Structure 1
Amino acid sequence: MSASKPLISITILVLLLRLHFFTLITPTTCSSENITHSAFQYLNVRETILSSKLIPHSPVENDQLSQTHQQHNKTNDINLNLIPRDFVFPSKYRNHAHRFHQRMKRDSIRVSSLVHRLSGSGTGSGSQEGVKYELNDFGSDVVSGMDQGSGEYFVRIGVGSPPRSQYMVIDSGSDIIWVQCQPCKQCYRQSDPVFNPAESASFAGVSCTSAVCDRLENAGCQSGRCRYEVQYGDGSYTKGTLALETLTFGRTMVKNVAIGCGHRNRGMFVGAAGLLGLGGGSMSFVGQLGGQTGGAFSFCLVSRDTNSYGSLVFGLSALPVGAAWVPLLRNPRAPSFYYIGLAGVGVGGVRVPIPEDVFRLTELGDGGVVMDTGTAVTRLPAPAYEAFRNAFLVQTLSLPRANGVSIFDTCFDLSGFVSVRVPTVSFYFSDGPILTLPARNFLIPVDEAGAFCFAFAPSASGLSIIGNIQQEGIQISVDGANGFVGFGPNVC
């Protein structure tokens, strides 16, 4: 009996040493791309640091950006390249740490805006749907607090007849489609010539009495023309007239799309001409396509530290077979936003003990979990975040810690490693599906020296937001007609 005790002690010691060894020193052949439901996976530290040093190149200025996928599209679906911000408009700041801090600034402002809008404390400029205001009743000018502009992902589309190519910000939390227009009383600088409606044969103004004007949340009227106004959380805004226009996506033309023709625009949208709203409201591009696509679209966001494109597809082919489908929840108080039922989070294959009510969308429209392409870092209510972070820390005790950076309080010094073994991180959805994230979607580099941070942050409110870092590389599909959001099965 006494002879077995040393043997047990030695066995435990060997197991502990083996765990320590594999956490710190991993084979260079192990791929961080292999996502399983196991307790651990690998992060390729060296590859990630190298990619963060790559300076994105501006694409050649032509319409191939919107035509690449169309050449292979045998259906009537609209299939576009989705372009990360830094790839289209390289920042003059070539240091990854500086680009990271600028991104976190934009992110904090975006989150503050969403919390403000979704908490019921603010509704844009306050007008009610269907109410017509004279021009002088519109909100007063505000100055953008952003020195780096808005927008994280872009598409290239043609506006008007003949089509004029323009870069457009995509935003899953906005409905209005708009471009800067001549005559421009107040415009920010953009990379393409400002759209001139007088040169478009398909441009048609919308009257104040039209049904389309009634669908605007903030509608105005001047000289019989319907006017719109949109204000964003960073202080940027666009104001102008509503029109029907033809938009061209590669080889596909969509006629009579209601767009805002912005004559007064403030802010810096990173050189983009305007915004393509992908929200759940009737005025978004998805809402206006309606029966043509069944309210279906999918997207895949590529990492911002690569020179590759993501994809944005409108149409029934956007709904893949084999995806993990979860119910799409609607908040009547915020119909533009896509809410999903999140039941919990997991670390190392084990669900963290957090009450499901923390993530629940109430009958009054409070709380809940929003998927947002414009937010970078996933936010969780503070109690949920703390339990989640602590569970992650327990399983990464062997990794050397580093000081917190920006909004992140959990960081590691991985400068001496080629690859590290880390616990899996998963989202548990209300109806049972589990989404396990790639390691690069939750441990991200914050400089070029090897500092990595756990890419989640606490929310000061009850609202949870799943950001674009956690969405990267995963095909996400929205079946608006049937009320579902799908994840996978393709990794892109």
Structure 2
Amino acid sequence: MVNTTLLPAAAIALFISIIIYTSPCASFNAETGSTDGFSVRLIHRDSPQSPLYDTNLTAADRTKATVRRSVSRLNYFETLISSPMEIAPKLTPDGGEYLMFFHLGTPPAPVYAIVDTGSHLTWLQCLPCKTCYNQTQSLFDPSKSSTYKKVPCRSPACAALEVEECTKDTKSCYYDLVVYGDGSSTMGVLSGDTLTFEDPFPNNITFPHMAFGCADDTSGTFEKSQGYQDDSGSRMQFGSNAVIYGDMTPLASESTSNYYLTLEGISVGNDELPIPDGIFNLTEDFKGGFIIDSGTTYTTLRVEAFLPLVDALGEKIHLQQKEDPSNQFQLCFVAGSFDKLASTPVVTFHFKGADVVFPQQSTYTKAFDWLCCLAMLPSSNISILGNFQQQNFDVGFDLCKKLVSFAASDCAAF
């Protein structure tokens, strides 16, 4: 029997998905030498250090693609709600925003993974592959790893997958995950192998018997990066390195796939917006709600909150307004730099027990060199706090106490 470790969180990747919670009650069982905590650098997909980087596209191209990915991500979450009878776990469509580098197998093979708090299974493409999308790095070859094992059907890891079938020849755990929004899918054998991180010092942090999907049949849309962003200060902390501090708000549900928060209101400056009661509430059948998500770039708000926000900012900011020529954003100002927005009223999200004040650089994005736009999008059902608004915050997840924390931080100083 293979003793396979399931890390207690989930992420999806272009090459492999990896999900890791920063909760202090998570049992890592890692071979870390002298440390019980470690730090892993995150690479933005638009960074030149990303394998997805494309030098041919402009900043405007990047913005358009980012908006499209945010809308696609929103559609994905709404698909989950609209298909409550589907029992298959979902594969997040359309890539992701932050990547993580690690090694898999013995000898170790390099892997880039998209980090995503809204997905279920760690997976990557493996040889031999029936149908695989193109990727820049070599496919993982299980036959070359001395520590690779297929996960048996009767193992806890296979049971945790919830949807699986046993192959008749080997009794291995075979999975088939589908995304309903764009038809993306991955199929393969649930497997186990050694996963190794390297922290900045550097120390090797090893997780033996890590469970992951070894995909041999994959389809979907996977695109290259659209530009450049500085990711020098982006890190994910684990174990004793993951210090939870700042304003804290409780998780609003026991959902295993998404992190729901209780958003009680939104303010512009000192004025709270006239938002109808209950529009951010999560229903018993998991409709609506407010999700904090690492895989969505721009925050989405239900139209009942988004339109009052647009109206309030339009009234309070005395800069020339201009329609976005690319029709991506609904509120834009003629401003060649963020300095012109420095004295404008800030936007505050009032979570239960925590007021999160967004700086201007996390509220507006440059659609063009001369145009700054509100970096939020309307939604008909679900609201999502995207990673653009999480910039320059230490965001902590304490799954023991079921808390999420926010602390303003200069991430460029890391």
Paired residues of 2:38 and 2:241 also in contact (CA < 8 A): no
Is the 2:96–2:296 Cα contact (8 Å) retained in structure 1? Answer: no
CA RMSD of aligned residues (A): 2.6
After TM superposition, the structure 1 = structure 2 runs for residues 51-450 of structure 1, keeping only pairs within 5 Å, are 75-87=35-47, 88=50, 89-117=52-80, 119-122=81-84, 126-127=86-87, 150-223=95-168, 224-232=171-179, 233-250=181-198, 251-270=204-223, 305-306=229-230, 308-321=232-245, 323-332=246-255, 335-396=256-317, 398-404=318-324, 405-415=326-336, 419-420=340-341, 421-431=343-353, 433-448=354-369, 450=370
User: What count of residue pairs does the alignment treat as equivalent?
Assistant: 366
Cα deviation for residue 188 of structure 1 reads: 1.4
Alpha-carbon shift at residue 378 of structure 1 (Å): 1.0
Once the two structures are superposed, residues 178-232 of structure 1 have per-residue CA deviations (whole angstroms, 9 ceiling, x without a partner) of: 1111111111122221111111111111122223211113212212110112233
TM-score, with normalisation over the residues of structure 2? 0.82
Give the superposition deviation at 1:270: 4.7
Distance 1:481 1:417 in 2: 39
Deviations 1:276-298 (A, max 9, x none): xxxxxxxxxxxxxxxxxxxxxxx
Q: Which has the larger radius of gyration?
A: 1
8 Å CA contact retained: 1:342, 1:359: yes
Bigger shift: residues 405-414 or 193-202: 405-414
C-alpha distance in structure 1 between counterparts of 2:82 and 2:189, whole Å: 27
Counterpart among 455, 460, 474 of residue 375 in structure 2: 455
Q: Which amino acid aligns with 1:318?
A: A
The change in CA–CA distance for 1:73 and 1:234 in structure 2 (over 3 A counts) is: farther
Residue identity over aligned pairs, in percent, reads 30
Any idea what SS the aligned residue of 1:394 has? helix
Task: State whether residues 219 and 228 of structure 1, in contact with CA within 8 Å, keep that contact through their aligned partners in structure 2.
Answer: yes
Q: CA deviation at 1:419?
A: 3.2
Please report the TM-score for the alignment, with normalisation by the length of structure 1: 0.70
- Flag the 1:468–1:86 CA change in 2: closer, same or farther, 3 A: same
Q: Distance in 1 between matches of 2:373 and 2:365?
A: 6
> Would the alpha carbon gap of residues 368 and 408 (structure 1) be closer, same or farther in structure 2, given more than 3 Å must change?
same
Query: d(CA) in 2 for partners of 1:417 and 1:259?
Result: 43
Report how far residue 343 of structure 1 moved: 0.6
- Offset of residue 128 of structure 1: 6.2
Q: What is the rounded CA distance, in whole Å, between the counterparts of 1:416 and 1:207 in structure 2?
A: 57
Is contact 2:392-2:408 (8 Å) kept? Answer: no
Q: Secondary structure of the residue that 1:156 maps to in structure 2?
A: strand
**Aligned counterparts of 2:156 and 2:392: Cα–Cα separation in 1:** 40
Q: Which amino acid aligns with 2:344?
A: V
Cα distance, 1:82 vs. partner? 0.4
Structure 1 residues 417 and 430: alpha-carbon distance in aligned structure 2, compared to 1, 3 A threshold: closer
Equivalent-residue separation in structure 1 for 2:294 and 2:244 (angstroms): 20
Which stretch shifts more, 261-270 or 236-245?
Answer: 261-270
Separation in 2, partners of 1:422, 1:304? 27
Taking the aligned partners of 2:327 and 2:167, their CA distance within structure 1 comes to 46
CA contact (8 A) 1:374 1:468 kept: yes
CA distance in 2, matches of 1:485, 1:196: 38
For residue 384 of structure 2, the aligned residue among 465, 470, 473 is 465
> C-alpha displacement at 1:366, in angstroms?
1.9
Structure 2, unaligned stretches of length 5 or more? 1-31, 199-203
| TM-superposed deviation, 1:491 | 3.3
Q: Give the secondary structure class of the aligned counterpart of 2:344.
A: strand
Separation in structure 2 between the aligned mates of residue 271 and residue 386 of structure 1, nearest angstrom:
33
Could you tell me which runs of 5 or more consecutive residues in structure 1 were left unpaired when the two chains were aligned.
1-71, 130-138, 273-302
Say which structure is richer in helix.
Answer: 1
* 1:161 Cα deviation from its structure 2 partner: 1.2
Tell me the alpha carbon deviations over residues 119-177 of structure 1, each in whole angstroms, 9 at most, x when there is no partner: 24256xx3369xxxxxxxxx9xx9x9x8xx51211000101112111111111100200
CA offsets, 1:38-92, max 9 Å, x none?
A: xxxxxxxxxxxxxxxxxxxxxxxxxxxxxxxxxx996322311001001112224
Letter in 1 for 2:189: T
Displacement of 1:331 in angstroms is 4.7
Aligned to 1:479: 398
Measure the CA separation in 2 of the matches of 1:114 and 1:467.
Answer: 13
The match for 2:14 is none
Contact 1:320 1:489 in 2 (8 A): no
Contact 1:205 1:225 in 2 (8 A): yes
* 1:421-465 deviation line (CA, Å, top 9, x unaligned): 21111110122x2110110111110123x111111121112x211
Q: 1:231 to 1:314 in 2, by over 3 A?
A: farther
Query: For residue 25 of structure 2, what is the aligned residue in structure 1?
Result: none
